[in-house]
Structures are given as structure tokens and as C-alpha cells.
Structure 1
């Protein structure tokens, strides 16, 4: 018999974990709605041609493809690799797979807008909280199934949208206690100008894919990769000068202006960053020209949120402007900008920094002890009255020793134990023990709700 297991890069979530995750979801959802975004959900799978070619060469490799139904009768498939390959022999790629699990929420959102643009009210502000899948190598903070929380605005080119999205990041991370997070900003227009300086816009993908690996492989390896992509020594020297820009935000803006400010696209990108920076005085914006975000659909401002420096973690959020994303689906001219939160990574950061509020971990507020058939029936009526007033409670499932019932309550981290015996029924009170302090009090039945909400 096979030992129970789950696919690598996926996880089961216990009650404590689900409650903590819901704390993050609810915090993000409340801020999204505070800024006027409305919810949307899209299917777990999309048609393969909806996804392929939208994420760059690295992203396309990580798309989970789904085998078509009816390739063969599963009962007749030899489970060996050789047997399975024989079943697939001679079949075209469309015979094998036409669908895939969604890689992110942005492309499915663009597909939704393209399909429904005649019925939507623009600017359309939507948020989405759903799982996505990537065929990545699992490691700390990187999973094959994880949840994204996105907010996007389509149908507007106004930079106030970018300013608001920066403020959403700031509000959410402050509410979660991540005061020392870092929000990086750059512009694909600046990267396009850099490509122009290096021989033409056709070099953009080669440059951004290499630059996007800078944190992982270092400058020397990036230069090697650029050389492998057939950039000249002179072009690589320009890119190195670009990557070595440093100092304060103001100093970086001066250096980038000197390098690519004479190119119209670069000038426009610099102006946009300056405007957002000036309109976000209370946000710790960090201008970072090494930020590339190697997804092909970005066209303007790009953002990336990083965890506080004491946590070894990659990006915990990112996004940017994509002014013609729906053009990929033959509906051109709909501008868009959006951000995403990496909930699974945010969870790991909050856990490591012990930032989850203690109240988040509690489920049942009170447990009613089972003191016998008559007593439990009476206690059940009291419990239902409390539930009607939104007090979460439960009753121990059978008559048992009080010590056993206390043990159950403590293991489930239930704060209050309520004991109602025959004497208590007669005198219309109950014994309530606060298991967090050990304090036990006599409480009248009609005062229980007030006691639990003191």
C-alpha cells in the first residue's frame, strides 16, 4: 500500500495556519475595498494559448500543462515511463494538451476584460484572491501552488493609479506590522531607453532577462549572460554603468538622467518616477534601476515589495503598468496597471517575525463541558443563544471526566470553559474558567454574553 503523500511544492493547512492566512487575506481585502476595488474570480485552468508567450521565455517554462482527456483509456496505460511514452507517440502538442493551470492572475484578468469589455464600466477596478500554479523548483518561500492577491485598474493611463497602488502596499504592510518593508520602483521605459542606447529596442528582452537575475547570480554572471546573448563589449559596458547607479533617490535620478535622459522614452520614464516619488512622501519608495521584472507585458512603471532586511526572503509583492495587455486578445487600446501580494511569502515573514496577533489563533471562544444527558441538553440551549449573538462555542461530544475535557480545551487553545451541572441549572448560573489565566468565576446565565464580550 502506498504511503500517503502530497505533490512536492504543495501543502496542507491546519486550522491555525488557515486562521493566520485568513488574517492576511482579510487585511488585504479590506484595504482593496477601501480603495474602491471590486472582487473577481476566474477558473483554475485557462486555454493554453491564453497563457503561452505572455510571461517571457523563463515564465513559459514554468506553466503547468494539463493532458487532454481521452488520450487513452487509463486502464490500458502501462504505468512505466516507456509505456506512457508509447501512448503519446505520434501525437501533436494540441493532441496532448490544450489547457493549463493559471500561472498568475493578470493574464486571466486581461482575458476576462477582453471577453467582457462591452459590459464593463471603465476604469474597471478589480481585485482577485485565488491560487496559481508554477512548475518551479520548490524552496523556502517558493511553492508550486500558492495564492496571489491582485488589484488592477484598467481603462486609465492616469499616474494617480500607480500612486494609489503604492499607497495600498504601504497600508497593507503597515497593518500587518511590516514597517521596514521596502518598495522598489523602476520603469520599463527606462529599460527600453537603455536597450535603445545599446543598439535598439530588439535588445530589450535579452537585457531585462539578464538584469532580472542580478540578485541571484551577481554582476559578473549577468555580464557573461549578456555576452552569450551576443551583446558587444561596448554595450555590456553601458549596461554595467547603468547597473552601478547608486546613492540617494535624488542622486540616482540625476545619474540616470545623464545616462539616458536624452532619449525620449527614457525621459518619459524618469518623469513618471519623479511624479510618483513626489506624490508619495509618506511611503519608503526606493528607486532601483536594477529592477526589471522579466515579464514581457509590462510597459511603464514597475514595482516590487521586499520583506524587512532581517528576513531572508525574496519579493513579497510586485506589479506594474501594461498599457496594451488586452491587445494580446485582439482588444487593443485598454490601458492597465496592477499589483500582486505574495501571500505565502508574507505568511512566512510574519511567522518568522512573530507578528501574528494572538487573537488570530483562537477559533472556539468557549467550550461547554458535558456533565451528563440532562445537563448537556440544558447547556445546549444556552450555547445556541450565544451562537445567535455571534459567540463561537462548542460542547464536548460525550460525558467524560472533567480532566479529559479540560485537556481537550487546552489542546484546542479555547479560552473559556463553561460548566453547568444540576446545581447550576437550579440556581441559574454557571462556572466559567478562563484557561489563559486560571481564573474561575460564577456567571449568571443572562450575563454570559456580556462576560464574553467584556
Structure 2
């Protein structure tokens, strides 16, 4: 029985036009990253469990794809074990990366003596999460990270905010807003040992709504005072200056709160000096970001009235290097989710008109005696920069022209018996149907002119 072709849930194929559109987005993002001094890096899809675990928090690690040990992974294991949490580390020693930040810190720990700090790197690679697939949420997706490692200066945060703005502006994204907060704001209303659980629950506000978040906080045993303080933060309104004043009045009496408020104010001041407009960024005192490793500023890119969630997020982290033996190594970064960004740009009709063809000219193949001349012509076309191919078999002209039509190839070169005898070539415009005869040099000039007009 033939196998029914099907995709794994949460995974996607990308047709030619989709790939071209993604490449358009990525070229813009890469150019802006480079403009800010970031250099590229790539790391393997697989990391050891020791590298990945203990960094993301309980919920994040539940979404990790674990990879079975090679060979007899059950050797020496009690197969009647039913506690999957205990069983997983026994039968799995590696996993697919959940994000690009933890692999970055592993890389830095390995190569710290060869790197120049502050280290600015960008990374554009897929990550995997065993999440429940739904609109805008995939199990495999492409992340575009930019991180500055080795500096605690708040200017780094300001630069990241301006970088996000520049990317969105260049891509013509409409109605976007960069939400920011400081983990210190939330630290002031929750017990230190429960902060990570608190942030993981609060991070679900957009997905499940505030009422269910409060119910989840109550179920997790948080005090009525913590929940009341969280509800109060939700009510803060007005400009960023007004929200900073409200935060100062509410939590400014604590050391952690006053530092968080001052940091938010300084970051915004520097970002505005870099050219970030006032309305591009908004303080959201309840923004948490669910990953456990954030310690300072947290950021999230959203779009008003969009049918998908956030387009990216990031923040400041200070202790990720500790587990790799590098104490005091701090970093701040942001990651665009390319798949969601693609969906939004499609929704907002923001993609420019992208040529649907990859081949510019097809050489038809009908005469055996003309084969050597055709191959010579094909080689020269490619050497001169034309995207060219030859129909591999000698079949009826109609079939070859149908092939060109289906592939949206704009021009066809015909070298039939008459052309071969007369030492000229027929160039057919597939869109207009007009065809003209040219000598070898005239053919190249005509193709160059016609394709320049089309582009």
C-alpha cells in the first residue's frame, strides 16, 4: 500500500515564492544587523541535554524535543518505569535546540579566549518546540537573533530597541509597538523563590486572558497581596513618562523597584537619542516573558489588531554563563520570529512584487545536430549571468513551450533546423508571443535589454 504523504503537525513546506519572500525579509534583517556591527554565527541543531536543561524553566523544558540515545537506548533501564520525567534523562542525552541564546552561551564558553568582547552576534536558524500547533504557533520555526554579550551598559538595550524599530520600518510593518518592562518591577511584588513560576504564568496573559491568569496565580498559591499588586500594575495608563511616575509611586520605595524604574527611564532616554520615536515603544508593567533566564529589561514586539501573537521578544540575562563556568558574563538580545513575521506581512500585503521565475531563458531542444551549439550557447549564457536551462530531451516543440509556460520562464531560444542552417537564433517572448531572429551577439544584447526592462 502506498504511503499517504503528510506533514508532521506544526511543520511547513515552503514553495518557491515563499522561499523568495522569506529571503527578501532575511536580506533586510541581515543588512540592518550588519549595520549595527553584528557578525553571523551558526550552531548545531542538536545540543546535549546538559546544555539545554535548567535554563528555560519548567514549562520551557516540557516543550523540548528530546532525542533518543543511539543504539540500544533501553539497555540497563527498568522498562516498567512510568515517570517520564525520570525516564527521559536515562534514554535521551541530547535534544533539538529550543532557542538560540543558550547555544550561544555554550559557544562563548567554548571559545571565550578567541572572542572580542563586547561580542555582537546575529544568528538566523530554525528552533524546535513541542508545542500544540495553532495559527502563528509552529513546532519548527526560524529565529533571527541579535545579542550583545559582555556589557552591562544600558546603551546596549537602547541599541536593540532602535534595531527592532529599524527592521519593522524597513519591512513597512504597520501598527507595531515594542512593549518593554523590567523584571525588577515584577520582583517587587512576588517572593524571590516563586518569581520564575510567577513570570511563566503571567506570560500567558495574551493567550488565556487576565482573568484566567489571576485564577492560575491563585491555584499556584500566590498571596492575595501579590495578585492585588499585579492587578494594580495592569491598570497603569498614559504615556511612558506617566507610567514611570506611576511605577515610581508604587514600587519606588524599594531598592529593586527604584533601580528598575531608573533603568527603564535611562534606556528610553538613550533610545530616543538614537532616533527611536516616542510612540514606537510602550512600557507594559505586567510584561514578563516566560523564559526563566531573563533578569533585567524584557521586550516584546506586537502589532495592533493582528491575528497572531507577538512577532518576537528578548531581554537582559546575567547568569546563563554560570553553568558553563563563566561567572559575570551578561548579555542582552532580541529575536524575531520569521514565520509569524511572514504571516503578518502576507496579512498586511507588504511583500513587493517578486519575480516568480528562477529561470530567465529556456533553450529548446529539437535538433540532434544542433546539440553542441546549444550547449555552447547555454554555457555562455550562464557565464554572462543569465539564469538559463535547456530542455533535456528532444521532444515536440509544443511540450517544451508548455514547460516554459508552467515554469513562468519569460524567454525561449529556438534553434531549429532553419535557424541552425541560417546561423541565427529565434527569441520568443512567452508573455507577448512575439519572436525575432538574432545573431549570437544580437541575441545576448536583446536578452539583456528585455530582462532589464522586466526587472
After TM superposition, the score normalised by the length of structure 1 is 0.89
Unmatched segments (≥5 aa) in structure 1: 75-83
Matched, 1:151 2:157: no
Residue 180 of structure 2 contacts residue 287 of structure 2 at CA under 8 Å; is this kept in 1? yes
Q: Post-superposition shift, 1:414?
A: 2.1
Matched, 1:299 2:325: no
**Is the partner of 2:213 in helix, strand or coil?**
helix
CA distance in 2 between partners of 1:167 and 1:426 (Å): 64
Q: Post-superposition shift, 1:395?
A: 1.6
User: Which residue does the alignment assign to 1:58?
Assistant: 59
Distance 1:360 1:130, change over 3 A: farther
Moved more, 157-166 or 330-339: 157-166
CA distance in 2 between partners of 1:354 and 1:442 (Å): 41
Residue 147 of structure 1 contacts residue 342 of structure 1 at CA under 8 Å; is this kept in 2? yes
User: Which residue does the alignment assign to 2:452?
Assistant: 453
Distance 1:234 1:329, change over 3 A: same
CA distance in 2 between partners of 1:423 and 1:410 (Å): 24
**Is the partner of 2:299 in helix, strand or coil?**
strand
Q: Post-superposition shift, 1:27?
A: 2.2
Matched, 1:227 2:218: yes
Residue 417 of structure 1 contacts residue 432 of structure 1 at CA under 8 Å; is this kept in 2? yes
Matched, 1:119 2:110: no
Q: Residues 88-237 of structure 1 correspond to what in structure 2 (within 5 A)?
A: 93-195=88-190, 200-237=191-228
**Is the partner of 1:337 in helix, strand or coil?**
strand
Q: Post-superposition shift, 1:114?
A: 1.4
Residue 55 of structure 2 contacts residue 320 of structure 2 at CA under 8 Å; is this kept in 1? no
Distance 1:51 1:246, change over 3 A: same
Q: Post-superposition shift, 1:437?
A: 5.0
User: Which residue does the alignment assign to 2:276?
Assistant: 282
User: Which residue does the alignment assign to 1:78?
Assistant: none
Find runs of 4+ consecutive structure 1 residues off by over 6 angstroms. Answer: 87-91
**1:281-339 deviation per Cα after TM superposition (whole angstroms, max 9, x unaligned):** 43411222221101111111111112x43430111111111123211322111111111
Residue 230 of structure 2 contacts residue 286 of structure 2 at CA under 8 Å; is this kept in 1? no
Matched, 1:408 2:407: no
RMSD in angstroms over aligned alpha carbons? 2.7
Residue 308 of structure 2 contacts residue 340 of structure 2 at CA under 8 Å; is this kept in 1? yes
Q: Post-superposition shift, 1:58?
A: 1.1
Distance 1:400 1:87, change over 3 A: farther
Distance 1:185 1:94, change over 3 A: closer
User: Which residue does the alignment assign to 2:322?
Assistant: 327
Moved more, 213-222 or 416-425: 416-425
Distance 1:289 1:377, change over 3 A: farther
User: Which residue does the alignment assign to 1:245?
Assistant: 236
Distance 1:135 1:119, change over 3 A: same
**1:86-119 deviation per Cα after TM superposition (whole angstroms, max 9, x unaligned):** 6999995543111111111100111111122122
CA distance in 1 between partners of 2:57 and 2:156 (Å): 25
Moved more, 256-265 or 56-65: 256-265
Q: Post-superposition shift, 1:170?
A: 2.0
**Is the partner of 2:293 in helix, strand or coil?**
coil
Distance 1:418 1:73, change over 3 A: farther
Aligned length: 440
Distance 1:415 1:165, change over 3 A: farther
Q: Post-superposition shift, 1:442?
A: 5.1
Moved more, 289-298 or 30-39: 30-39
Q: Post-superposition shift, 1:47?
A: 1.2
User: Which residue does the alignment assign to 2:71?
Assistant: 70
Q: Post-superposition shift, 1:154?
A: 0.5
Q: Post-superposition shift, 1:415?
A: 2.5
CA distance in 1 between partners of 2:267 and 2:369 (Å): 68
Q: Residues 388-407 of structure 1 correspond to what in structure 2 (within 5 A)?
A: 388-407=383-402
Distance 1:261 1:433, change over 3 A: farther
**Is the partner of 1:46 in helix, strand or coil?**
strand
Distance 1:158 1:442, change over 3 A: farther
CA distance in 2 between partners of 1:435 and 1:185 (Å): 53
Distance 1:414 1:261, change over 3 A: farther
After TM superposition, the score normalised by the length of structure 2 is 0.88
Distance 1:268 1:426, change over 3 A: farther
**Is the partner of 1:404 in helix, strand or coil?**
helix
Distance 1:331 1:97, change over 3 A: same
Q: Post-superposition shift, 1:41?
A: 1.4
